Amino acid sequence: MSNWERFLETFFNAKVMAKYLPDIAHGTLVTVELAGLVILTGLACGLALALLRSLGFRPVNFLVVFAVDLFRSLPPLVIIVFIYFGLPAVNVAPSGFVSTWLSLSLVLTAFSEEIFWAGITSIAKGQWEAALSTGLTYGQALMSVVLPQALRLTVPPLTNRTIAITKGTALGTVVAVSEILGTASSAVSNSYNPSPLILGAAAYLVLFLPVVVLGRWLETTMVWKR
């Protein structure tokens, strides 16, 4: 057997791939569900916190900033382990899936809040004054004039951060979540062949490459024209 044939037999073993393809497909479905929940929860909560912070109540702002800085500083894996293994001490026992969802959502919430807040504060003061001079309330000016402009500015950094964090679904394997990496790793252990990892890598490409392309398209179409 030549070196090339040995390489193909090791990393692209058709029999092993065919055997574990259904498992990888199931892991892909779990990853899609988990990533979708993380994105929806993280972005919605991040925007809500940024809007809450824009109201200017100092005690509330202090709490928001403290929470955001805390979860931006902690590694997602530490949060997953704390939720999964720590909360049972107070009679709360979330599953591995819920623990991973909550931890990644908290991290994405923290980063997206800062991005939304930066977008809101980047809008010129004259935009606020012009909106208020027409008779709009503070809330109406924020939602109808400032926020639409701010959202356009947040698309590039928000897209990159969202992609980076959702790929962290692979951390779920630490708490026995049967996502792509966990399923592929288990298949490698059972087959003594790394070919399932190649299937897992292909699944990640199928999932996240279109997201990257979509993000680039959004950056191009929503950026301010010069």
What's the start-to-end Cα distance of the chain, in Å?
Answer: 60
Q: Which of 77, 72, 48, 52 is nearest to 62 (CA)?
A: 52
DSSP state of 85: I
Q: Which residue has the higher pLDDT, 158 or 107?
A: 107
Give the 3-state secondary structure percentages of the chain, helix then strand then coil, rounded to 5. Answer: 85, 0, 15
Per-residue pLDDT of 128-145, as tens digits, reads: 878 888 888 887 888 888
What tens digit of pLDDT does each residue of 143-197 get?
A: 888 888 888 888 878 888 888 888 888 888 888 888 888 888 888 888 888 888 8
Q: Domain 18-184+191-222: state its class.
A: mainly alpha
CA dihedral of 89, 93, 95, 97, whole degrees rounded to 10: -70
Q: Is 88 exposed, middle or buried (0-12, 13-18, 19+ CB in 10 A)?
A: exposed
For residues 106-111, give the mean pLDDT: 94
Instruction: State residue 222's pLDDT score.
Output: 66
The domains of the chain are located at: 18-184+191-222
